[in-house]
Amino acid sequence: MEQPNLSYIKELAGDDIAFERKFIDIIKQEFPLEVAEYMGLINKDLPRSAAETVHKLKHKFNILSMEKAYVFSVNYEEELRLGHTELHPKFTAILNHIETYLKTI
């Protein structure tokens, strides 16, 4: 599985360590809330609503330099809009991987 990293954030921040830290803190704050929202919608069998949350989450994948996960989530978002949830296990694995990573930074 693709490894998340801070390359993009460091590139954006340049030498501004305070900006970098604030950006990371925002991701660490928002990510679990968005994951909980997504899981709640999937558990309620509301895939079309879950697609909106996947739309938000996929941008975090880009920020964490996870290009393959981003492309996968674009696909998954479209599948959810059609009411299909077959890709949920793989998406959940990506979310869990990121969640573990965020605990280390």
Q: Are 70 and 10 within 8 A, CB to CB? A: no
Categorize the per-residue pLDDT at 5 as very low, low, confident or very high, splitting at 50, 70 and 90: very high
Nearest to 2 by CA among 78, 54, 43, 61: 61
Q: What is the pLDDT of residues 63-93, one digit of tens each?
A: 999 999 999 999 999 999 999 999 999 999 9
Q: Where are the domains of the chain?
A: 7-102
Helix (H, G, I), strand (E, B), or coil: what is residue 62? Answer: helix
Q: What is the pLDDT of residues 31-54, one digit of tens each?
A: 999 999 999 999 999 999 999 999
Q: Are 72 and 90 within 8 A, CB to CB? A: yes
Verdict on whether the full-model pTM lies above 0.85: yes
Q: Are 69 and 61 within 8 A, CB to CB? A: yes
- Helix %, strand %, coil % of the chain (to 5): 75, 0, 25
